[in-house]
Amino acid sequence: MADEAAPTGADDTEVEATPGAAPEELFGALLTRSGGQLVLHPSREQYPKLLRTLHESGYHMVIDLCGVDYLTHSGRTGVPASVATERFEVVVNLINHKERARLRLRVQIPVDDARLASAFDLYPGTEAMERETFDMFGISFDGHPDLTRILMPEDWLGHPLRKDYDSGRIPVQFKGAPANRPATR
């Protein structure tokens, strides 16, 4: 693991890439830094192997996994120039307790093939996080044991956190409150 040690400069400052310099890599994926945290940018194809490598290297816990929709935000920062940005991104935050280290993964997901391999086999705690990302963004996770809606009803149409989802007005009826009662002062 000595050859996979974190590069220097992982303090709380942003480190800009030197123009013309070869991009940095860690664990075989492109590396950037954000707020003192190492950020890896694997392709969808690299993602499953990278997760296995990270697990073997002591990153035994996924503390967060979520989706991001960049439909209305084309000027994205923090992504290496050689990475083709897509509309969706899956962001995974891992922690290595022994080394007291955090690591973030940012995986680009195209809208016309919104899927990614599931992390569930290595990180069972991702089961609900992947279901929520599926439910809210429509990103599927290949190999997930129960990829069903978790927040919305099963018959719900669409994915509410997509930027092109039409937000309508849904009346809320609180239990025990009379329906259609005019407001009193």
- Is residue 149 in some structural domain? no
- Is residue 169 in some structural domain? no
**Assessment of whether the complete model's pTM goes beyond 0.85:** no
- Is residue 79 in some structural domain? yes
122-167: per-residue pLDDT in tens? 999 999 999 999 999 999 999 999 999 999 999 999 999 999 988 7
Contact between 92 and 69 under an 8 Å Cβ cutoff? The reply is: no
- Is residue 114 in some structural domain? yes
Instruction: Quote the pLDDT of residue 85.
Output: 95
Q: Which residue range is the domain that position 27 belongs to?
A: 11-142
44-100: per-residue pLDDT in tens? 999 999 999 999 999 999 999 999 999 998 778 899 999 999 999 999 999 999 999
CATH number, domain containing residue 67: 3.30.460.80
- For residue 141, which amino acid is it? F
Give the three-class secondary structure for 89. strand
Instruction: Quote the pLDDT of residue 170.
Output: 64
Within 13 Å, how many C-alpha atoms sit on residue 88's CB side?
A: 24
- Is residue 102 in some structural domain? yes
Burial of 160 (0-12, 13-18, 19+ CB in 10 A): middle
Residue 170 burial (CB count, 10 A): 5
- Is residue 159 in some structural domain? no
Instruction: Quote the pLDDT of residue 181.
Output: 57
164-174: per-residue pLDDT in tens? 988 766 666 67
* Measured distance CA(127)–CA(31) in Å, rounded: 27
* Measured distance CA(143)–CA(36) in Å, rounded: 33
* Percentage above 70 pLDDT, the chain: 81
- Is residue 22 in some structural domain? yes
Tally of domains within the chain: 1
